[in-house]
Amino acid sequence: MRFWKMHGLGNDYIVIDNRDQKISDMHVAELAKKLCERRFSVGADGLLLVCKSTIADVKMRIFNSDGSEAEMCGNGIRCFSKYCYETGILKKSDFVVETMSGIKHVWLIVKDDEVQTVKVDMGAPNWERASLPMVGEGTCINENLDVDGQLYKVTCLSMGNPHCVIFVDNVDEFVVDCVGPIIEKPKGFPKTN
């Protein structure tokens, strides 16, 4: 199996051309878990599959390391787009990608046939709790979230997939490795439990 290992701002992915559908829907979740397992396999945050599309130039499917399918990922689509160009799947610097969160337009800056940067129109953010999903009604902007007895001011939104943002004075001193995994599993976010 041929693949590329790529990263975008620290999120790393295994990218595979699956336009021939050799990886079936029945096996893809288990394959993602096996390939993404760190220290025992390739290791990655997720698996990106290049698929045929009837409504865009190409389709991106994203599978997290636990085998679940994700709607969208900004870092992932940038890696995906570079892969598509540099492998010859799409030899144009402006194209559209089908995702579970809709069609995304990408623009590439290419020098000497190598992609230097990728710009993505992620669309407008969705602030509604129901779109995340998140418990409650309306929006969650600068609200308290109790994380194991510690209160954080959070803002939650979806850019095709949910985000929980905490503004801090010094990002280098914030213990994101400790707090992040705890926030991912609170009772307020029913889809992650």
pLDDT at 93: 96
Count other C-beta atoms under 10 Å from residue 109's C-beta: 10
pLDDT at 18: 98
Q: What is the DSSP letter of 170?
A: -
- What band does 4 get if pLDDT is binned at 50, 70 and 90? very high
Q: Given the structure tokens 């992040």, which residue do they identify?
A: 180
Average pLDDT in the chain: 92
CA 111 to chain centroid, in Å, comes to 26
Q: Is the pLDDT of residue 187 over 70?
A: no
- What band does 190 get if pLDDT is binned at 50, 70 and 90? low
Note the pLDDT tens digit of each residue in 27-67.
Answer: 999 999 999 999 999 999 999 999 999 999 999 999 999 99
